[in-house]
Amino acid sequence: MQEFICKNCKNHFVGKYCNNCGEKIHNENDKRISILFADVFHFVTHFEGTLLTSLKTIILHPGKFSEDYCNGVRKKYFKPLSLFLMLIILYLLFPVFEGLNMRLFYHTTHEMYGSFAQKKVSALMAAKNMDWAQVSETFHAKGEKVSKFLLFIILPVMATLSWLLAFKKRKYYYDHFIYVTENTSFLLLWGFLVLPIIMLFLRIIFGTNFLLGDKITGPVILTGMLLFSFISVKRFFKFSIWYCIIYSIIYLGLLVLFIQNIYKFILFYLTITQL
Q: Residue 237's pLDDT is what? A: 96
What is the pLDDT of the chain when averaged over all its residues? 87
**Dihedral sign, Cα of residue 64, residue 66, residue 69, residue 72:** negative
- Residue 7's alpha-carbon distances to 18, 23, 25, 26, 36, in angstroms, are 9, 8, 9, 10, 21
Given a cut of 90, whether residue 234 has pLDDT beyond it is yes
Q: Is 22 in the same domain as 89?
A: no
SS3 (DSSP) at 62:
coil
Within-domain flag for 36? no
Cα–Cα dist 7/21, whole Å:
10
Range of the domain at 25: 3-29
| Burial readout 52-69 (b: 16 or more C-beta within 10 A, e: otherwise) | eebbebbeeebbbbbbbb
Based on the fold, state whether residues 85 and 188 are members of the same structural domain.
yes
For residue 24, what are the β-bridge partners?
17
Alpha-carbon torsion angle 164, 170, 175, 181, nearest 10:
-50
Highest mean pLDDT pick, 12-16, 45-49, 146-150, 178-182: 178-182
Output the pLDDT for position 40.
Answer: 57
Q: 24: which DSSP letter?
A: B
What pLDDT, on the 0 to 100 scale, is given for residue 65?
A: 97
Both 103 and 188 in one domain: the answer is: yes
User: Can you tell me the mean pLDDT for 238-265?
Assistant: 95
CA atoms of 80 and 187, how far apart (whole Å): 14
Asked if the model's pLDDT at residue 243 lies above 90, the reply is yes
Please tell me the total count of domains within the chain.
2
- In a domain? residue 109: yes
Please determine, for residue 43, whether its predicted confidence score (pLDDT) is greater than 60.
no
Q: Check residue 52 and give left, alpha or beta (phi > 0: left; psi -120 to 50: alpha).
A: alpha
| Confidence at residue 57, expressed as pLDDT on a 0 to 100 scale | 96
Distance CA 1, CA 14 (A): 7
Q: What pLDDT, in 10s, does the model give residues 98-152?
A: 667 788 999 999 999 999 999 999 999 999 999 999 999 999 989 988 988 899 9
What is the band of 197 on the pLDDT scale with cuts at 50, 70, 90?
confident
pTM of the model: 0.82
Residue 145 has a pLDDT of 84
Task: Indicate if 17 and 87 belong to the same structural domain.
Answer: no
φ, ψ for residue 200 (rounded to 5)? Answer: -65, -45
Are both 87 and 21 inside the same structural domain? no
CA distances from 251 to 243, 245, 275 (A): 12, 10, 34
Same domain as 150, residue 22: no
pLDDT band for position 261 (cuts 50, 70, 90): very high
Tens digit of pLDDT for each residue in 160-171?
999 999 988 988
CB atoms closer than 10 angstroms to residue 50: 18
Say if 118 falls within a structural domain. yes
**Helix-helix angle 33-60:80-93, to 10 degrees:** 90
Among left, alpha and beta (phi > 0; psi -120 to 50; other), residue 178 is alpha
pLDDT-above-90 percentage for the chain = 57
Residues 50-83: pLDDT tens digits? Answer: 888 999 999 999 999 999 999 999 989 999 999 9
